[in-house]
Amino acid sequence: MNGNEPADAMDAVVAASRVYRGSVMDDGKPGPLGNPEVGRIIGGVRRFLEDQEKRPRGERITQAKLARAIGEKPSTVSQVLAYKYPAARTDDYPYRKRDTILRKLDQQLSRYEKSKDAPERSGFVWTAHALEIRGLADARLLNTIRQVHDATHAPVLLLGMPALFKNLQQARADDSKGAMLFSRIGIKRDLTERCRTDGDHGEPLYSVEDIRKVFGRSKLRIASDAVRWLHALANLPDCGHLRSCNNAVRLAAHVAQQSGQDEITLTLLLQISRLLIGTEGARQLANRIKVAQKVA
Q: pLDDT, tens digit, for every residue of 115-152?
A: 665 455 566 778 877 777 777 666 575 455 556 666 77
Phi, psi of 24 (to 5 degrees): -120, 135
Tell whether the model's pLDDT for residue 20 goes beyond 50. no
For residue 27, pLDDT beyond 70: no
Residue 229 has pLDDT above 90, yes or no: yes
H/E element, 221 = strand 221-222
- Domain extents for the chain? 19-117, 195-295
Encode pLDDT of 51-110 as tens digits.
888 888 888 889 999 999 899 999 999 999 999 988 887 767 788 889 999 999 999 888
Tell me, what's the pLDDT at 4? 46
Mean pLDDT score of the chain, rounded to an integer? 78
Measure Cα distances from 177 to 78, 144, 173, 186 in Å: 64, 20, 11, 19
The pLDDT of residue 54 is: 86
Contact in structure between 256 and 268 (CB atoms under 8 Å): yes
What fold characterizes domain 195-295? Helicase, Ruva Protein; domain 3 (1.10.8)
Question: pLDDT tens digit string along 204-223?
Answer: 888 899 999 888 777 788 99
